[in-house]
Structure 1
Amino acid sequence: MTVLSDVSDFVGWSGEDQDEVSIHVAGMTISGWQNVSIRIGLEVMPSTAHLAFTEYQPDGQYMLSVDPGMRCQISIGKDLVITGYVSVVETNTDAAGNLMFMEIDSLSIDLIECSAEFATYQMSSTNALAICQQVSRPRGVTVTSTQGAGNTDIQQFSVILSETAYEVMERVCRLAGCIFYDQPDGSVLLSPVGATQASGGFTEGENIEQISTRRSMRGRFSEVRAVIQNPVVLFTPPDGDDYVSQMDAVSAPVNAVATDPGVTRSRPLLIPVELGDADYAVAKQRVQWEVARRYGRSQVIDLICDSWRDKSGKLWTKNTLVPVKRKSWAAAEMWLIAEVEFSRGEDGSRAHVTLMPPETFKPEPILLPMQSNEAVAAANSSVGDAGADRTPVQQEDI
């Protein structure tokens, strides 16, 4: 890409500023923005940026021209943060001149908005990473993995014709037990939760300018129990003993119970055992996941940091474990960066960071499609043997 030095000069860009935000578009490197907001996160896809600047530069006597659809890159200092497209260009004219606003989306915007395209919509004997790569390739997005994420074998997988590529990847990554998110170069990464750890952390009274915490009891349960889905017809209201015996009948064989010690009153939740769950292994994982994830979602820290970088000079990054120390805490606690917004305005540069416990983002344990389909086929076969007048169970692609 050719960089026009005169453009860089009249917008006031200096390579010496490690936190200077620049956009590379249409053969130009533009910086010196009046307002900047760059948002990345584990549940923010695509990564986005909002930039505001003066369209006409009197020093260079130059009118900037940027159109929607142009491919671009955004950097903070020498660090690339977003590769994508100019999605929106807006101009606002007043007595002071023309102010231009640009909205940038990562390359993954096409995975989210466009329908998935495959040579075949029925896949077998493959793994999660390969499926994600196949669905992303037509949109020009590369998919990679780290620490073995996405290596789970998926013997059978069906794509719904109306699905977007993002929806396909979301289902596949649940099967593989991993998460996926944007990378600075525009690719998508499959990863376990908490893949990296920051150098240094957030400390109240040092680099934290403002901090708020939210603790909630909503959506949390004192006990999560897996039960077998057997219909029970009650012709008369059962007394207490009868109810307990019926509950034991549908839950005791599974022996999958998890408790949340933080919920002091009785708040039970029953979840069904999936058909084909041999030895109830997935059900036992699922009850633990329900408790852990619901606890994680109920604990949130939002803070404003006075720097965009950790002690090693690395930008704060999503899916990074980081120690947080408050004055009221006896020791630092390890939290996961869920979202970061790098902002710059009249009050200077700030990093708005959202943190949650790591277990918040662990994918839900579910059966692989082949296991489920085999169980359904067995159920259909047994129903057919019982009599020709019985209606077989309908199989549904996952």
Structure 2
Amino acid sequence: MAGTTSSVGNETLVVVGTGNIQNEAALAVRGVKITGWTEVQIRCGVETMPWSADLIATEWQPDRATEVTINEGDACQILIGSDPVITGYVITVDREMTLDSHSVHVAVASKSIDLVESAAEIATYQLNSMNALAIIRKLAATAGISVYPVNGAGNVDIQIFSIILSETAHEAIERVCRLANCLFYDRPDGNITLAPVGTTVIQGAFAQGRNVEAARVRASQAGRFASIQAIIQGTIFLTQPPTSSDYVSEFVAKTKPVNAIAYDQGVTNTRPWRKMLLPVEGGDDANYDYAKRRVQWESNRRYGRSQVIELTCDSWRDSSGALWSPNTVAQVSLKALKRDGIEWLIVELVFRRDEGGTHCDVTLMPPQAMTPEPILLPLMQNEANRAITSNDAAPLPGGR
């Protein structure tokens, strides 16, 4: 392996290895940028946290360039060319030798692994009168991670948010994001992005006969319903006399919220008898606004998850030279598979290099598949109820 130098940020790196620098995967540890890996797999995604990488070198000869020692727990960075992809830690190092070979396998995870695996510990387990972004920043700061919002994501006021003693910071952040209706996922610099679904669009991203080597399209009705209806669960008092034959219609009238129903036309037109009932959550849901959003989300999500494109691209970069990125809406043209000119969301990416060359495996779904599930704040957490139950509320007459 030959040695050269390059820089990432303000740090000068010694490069160990050779190859196409623009598409060379490297591991940077303690100022040394190690390339020449024989196998590379880097996994990034909207729902993948932490982002991770596996690097394998089958002939490890550091004495021919500069001595490099990679240890578990080392702070590190994964780069493609000069572009960082993952900033985090070396998690595992496996070394192996035989009579005629020597190999090393390095597993890396982004900094968010500490949010995923560690308990959420902050000074107080109840946060009052904060917006979602502020709560998420407070939780992420426990692992030395910053949070960067896109398009105002997280700008939702939350009066009271309680952290469960046994949950991880990732689990708490996931609940906050449901309240704020936004996604959170890793950034190449080791921090977190807070964003709505589909922040940018790439025209002509993937096309049959140009950069798509293989593709598979799935269209399914599994798990989908013609209609999804919200109902009120509780004690029901029927007023019809015992001889009445109209109990069913009265029961329906008393248990379903006003207009809290969503339809999936793809199923309604073929199997209209497929119906789903969802109980309304307890809490303050004026005019059943939450119930209406909840059933629509359920219908959209089930549709989105039933439509998938999995393709293999011949490059790690788009036509502008930028690395493919999760949460990007990409235009796809696969005429042979009846998907031409659609714009779907990049959900997951696997940058890989092996004996078969350099490839990027891409999973795309309709944007509806990634919309966060709406959640209703528990009863007694809205401002009016807080005022009623507050110790500062005005005393009752007679000092009671």
TM-score by length of 1: 0.87
Structure 1: give runs of 5+ residues left out of the alignment.
381-398
Which deviates further from its counterpart, 31-40 or 241-250? 241-250
- Separation of aligned partners in 2, 1:158 and 1:106: 27
The answer for the alignment partner of 1:104 in structure 2 is 108
Q: Distance in 2 between matches of 1:37 and 1:338?
A: 17
* Residue 364 of structure 2: aligned partner: 355
Distance 2:27 2:191 in 1: 18
From 355, 374, 390, the counterpart of 1:365: 374
Which residue number corresponds to residue 389 of structure 1? none
Q: CA deviation at 1:286?
A: 1.3
Instruction: Say if 1:19 and 1:308, in contact at 8 Å, map to a contact too.
Output: yes
Matching of residues 11-50 of structure 1 within 5 Å: 11-13=17-19, 17-50=21-54
Residue matched to 2:124: 120
Q: For residues 223-234 of structure 1, what are the structure 2 equivalents within 5 Å?
A: 223-232=227-236
Following TM superposition, by how much is the alpha carbon of 1:216 offset from its aligned partner in structure 2, in angstroms?
2.1
Is the Cα contact below 8 Å between 1:276 and 1:374 reproduced in 2?
no
Quote the Cα distance in structure 1 between the aligned partners of 2:68 and 2:167: 38
Match of 2:275 among 268, 271, 278: 268
Instruction: Name the Cα RMSD after superposition.
Output: 2.5
Q: Which amino acid aligns with 1:19?
A: N
Corresponding position of 2:171: 167
The one-letter code of the counterpart of 1:12 is: T
> Could you tell me how far apart the structure 1 residues matched to 2:386 and 2:244 are?
38
Partner of 1:336: 345
Q: How does 1:75-94 map to 2 (within 5 A)?
A: 75-94=79-98
Contact 1:276 1:375 in 2 (8 A): no
Matches within 5 A, 1:121-270: 121-232=125-236, 241-251=246-256, 253-263=257-267, 264-265=270-271, 266-270=273-277
- Structure 2 residue runs of 5 or longer lacking an equivalent are 1-10, 390-400
- In 2, Cα distance between equivalents of 1:42 and 1:335: 13
> Which letter maps to 1:341?
V
The answer on whether the counterparts of 1:227 and 1:250 sit within 8 Å (CA) in structure 2 is: yes
* Counterpart residue number, 1:4: 14
- Report the CA distance between 1:363 and its aligned residue: 1.0
Q: Which amino acid aligns with 1:53?
A: A
Deviation at 1:212, TM superposition (A): 0.5
- SS at 1:133's partner residue? helix
SS of the equivalent of 2:358 reads strand
Paired amino acid for 1:291: S
1:303 is the counterpart of 2:311: yes
The 2-side partners of 1:280 and 1:366 are apart by 13
Taking a change above 3 Å as real, the CA distance of residues 150 and 61 of structure 1, as seen in their structure-2 partners, is: closer
How much does 1:228 deviate? 1.6
Aligned partners of 2:243, 2:102: CA distance in 1, in Å? 75
The SS at the match of 1:67 is coil
For residue 222 of structure 2, give the secondary structure of its aligned residue in structure 1.
coil
Taking the aligned partners of 1:227 and 1:53, their CA distance within structure 2 comes to: 58
User: 1:331, CA displacement in angstroms?
Assistant: 3.9
> How far apart are the structure 1 equivalents of 2:33 and 2:164?
42
**Alignment length (residue pairs):** 372
Match for residue 334 of structure 2 among 313, 326, 335: 326
Measure the CA separation in 2 of the matches of 1:138 and 1:13. 39
Cα distance, 1:3 vs structure 2: 2.1
Q: Aligned pair in 2 of structure 1 residues 372, 364: CA closer, same or farther (>3 Å)?
A: farther
In structure 2, do the counterparts of structure 1 residues 109 and 176 end up closer, same or farther at CA, with 3 Å as the change threshold? Answer: same
Say which is worse superposed, 328-337 or 221-230, in terms of deviation.
328-337
Shift of 1:64: 3.4
Q: In structure 2, do the counterparts of structure 1 residues 377 and 119 end up closer, same or farther at CA, with 3 Å as the change threshold?
A: closer
2:322 corresponds to 1:289:
no
The alpha-carbon distance between structure 1 residues 190 and 330, as it changes in their structure 2 partners (threshold 3 A), is closer
Please report the TM-score for the alignment, with normalisation by the length of structure 2: 0.87
In structure 2, what is the Cα distance between the partners aligned to 1:339 and 1:36?
Answer: 16
CA distance in 2, matches of 1:176, 1:325: 33
Cα displacement (A) at 1:13: 5.0
Aligned residues: percent identity?
49
